[in-house]
Amino acid sequence: MTRIAATSAPLHPLLSERWSPRGFDPAHQLTGPQLTALLEAARWSPSANNSQPWRFVATRRGEPAFDRLAGTLRDTNARWAGSASALLLVLAETVDRAGAPRWYGLYDTGQAVAHLVTQAQAEGLSAHQMGGFDKAAAAAEFGIDPRFTPVVVVAVGRWHTADLPADLAEREAAPRVRRPLEELVLPADPPVCLQRTA
């Protein structure tokens, strides 16, 4: 089964083949070098004035910290995310050391996680970001400085649907949808003509 995005122009496969599965192989282990590569991908992301506002708590299945992080997930996520090979708590520096808001903190952290997920794709893995978790509980569990805001938990692992409950398997096979390109591109004057290759 392919889950390739339906685009009007060819995309690099790391982007067109990326999607967010719920089925992960419970026997797959993420290696140390793979975890390091994911975090290095985030590290080299761009940010406003090179402020690098992203932080991570990285856990792998089998470690106590993985179960502690999994324990903060909303039930709808907890029922599948335990099969992932790693769960990463993502934090954004939304307040700087002087106490001022860091307005680009969330934006830049989104970029860093996109780089991390792209590297996961390059490793033959899949990632699924979850906003559905108890952020206060996660911050308390790992003793997070209040300047850093919990944003998402990222599940990373090898896609594997064999063990999924029927309702999740059905969602897994549903078509991938997005707004048409025309809704994302606001008119300039004169309007930009989007040329299609297909």
38-67 residues in contact with a copy of itself (CB under 8 A) are 39-46, 48, 50, 52, 54-60, 63-65
- The CB-of-188 to a copy of itself minimum distance in angstroms stands at 4
> Is the CB of 116 or the CB of 164 nearer to a copy of itself?
116
30 binds a copy of itself (CB under 8 A): no
* DSSP structural state of residue 84: S
How much is the CA Rg of the chain, to the nearest whole Å? Answer: 18
Contacts by 27-32, CB closer than 8 A, 24 or more apart: 28/85, 28/157, 28/158, 28/160, 29/60, 29/61, 29/62, 29/85, 30/60, 30/61, 30/85, 30/86, 30/125, 30/156, 30/157
Residue 184 has phi, psi (to 5 degrees) of -85, -20
> Is the CB of 35 or the CB of 81 nearer to a copy of itself?
35
- The CB-of-190 to a copy of itself minimum distance in angstroms stands at 7
Please tell me the distance from the alpha carbon of residue 121 to that of residue 94, in angstroms, as a whole number: 28
Please tell me the distance from the alpha carbon of residue 167 to that of residue 182, in angstroms, as a whole number: 33
12 binds a copy of itself (CB under 8 A): yes
Bond prior to 190 in cis (omega within 30° of 0): yes
> Is the CB of 10 or the CB of 162 nearer to a copy of itself?
10
139 binds a copy of itself (CB under 8 A): no
> Is the CB of 91 or the CB of 164 nearer to a copy of itself?
91
Residues 168-197 close enough to bind a copy of itself by CB under 8 A: 176-179, 181, 184-190, 192-197
142 binds a copy of itself (CB under 8 A): yes
29 binds a copy of itself (CB under 8 A): no
Please tell me the distance from the alpha carbon of residue 125 to that of residue 14, in angstroms, as a whole number: 11
Residues 87-116 close enough to bind a copy of itself by CB under 8 A: 91-92, 104, 106-111, 113-115
State the number of binding residues for a copy of itself (CB under 8 A): 82
Tell me which of 22, 77, 129, 153 binds a copy of itself, using CB under 8 A. Answer: 129
16 binds a copy of itself (CB under 8 A): yes
